Amino acid sequence: MRIPCPICGNRDSREFDYMGHALTLDRPAPDAGLGAWDDYLHNRENPAGPTRDLWFHGLGCGAWLVVSRDTVTHEVFGAELARDVTGGRA
């Protein structure tokens, strides 16, 4: 699998660490309640198909990426910096 790092270009997936679905960017408020936190940390759509998940370019530039890809075909559609996704939202 190749991940198109916005900083480094197309790189072998062996340079990256994976950390699950990109909903982890949507950290609930401290007082959002147990249900919200349970959903945030544990419960997943776990789609069979297109998804967005978090990859860390640890053996590269050190950027956290949001990668769009397909969990069935392993096709990678693109990647953006997590910083931009979170920053754009704030």
Q: Which residues bind another protein (CB under 8 A)?
A: 1-2, 12-14, 17-21, 24-25, 27-28, 30-32, 34-35, 37-39, 41-48, 51, 53-56, 58, 62-64, 71-76, 81-83, 85-87, 90
Pick between residue 8 and residue 27 the one whose CB is nearest to another protein. Answer: 27
The distance of closest approach from Cβ of residue 8 to another protein in the complex, given in angstroms and rounded to an integer, is 14
How does DSSP assign the chain, residue by residue?
-EEEETTTEEEEGGG-EEEEEGGGGSPPPTTS-HHHHHHHHT-----SSEEEEEEE-TTTT--EEEEEEETTT--EEEEEEHHHHHHHH-
The distance of closest approach from Cβ of residue 22 to another protein in the complex, given in angstroms and rounded to an integer, is 9
The distance of closest approach from Cβ of residue 60 to another protein in the complex, given in angstroms and rounded to an integer, is 12
Q: Which amino acid is at 69?
A: R
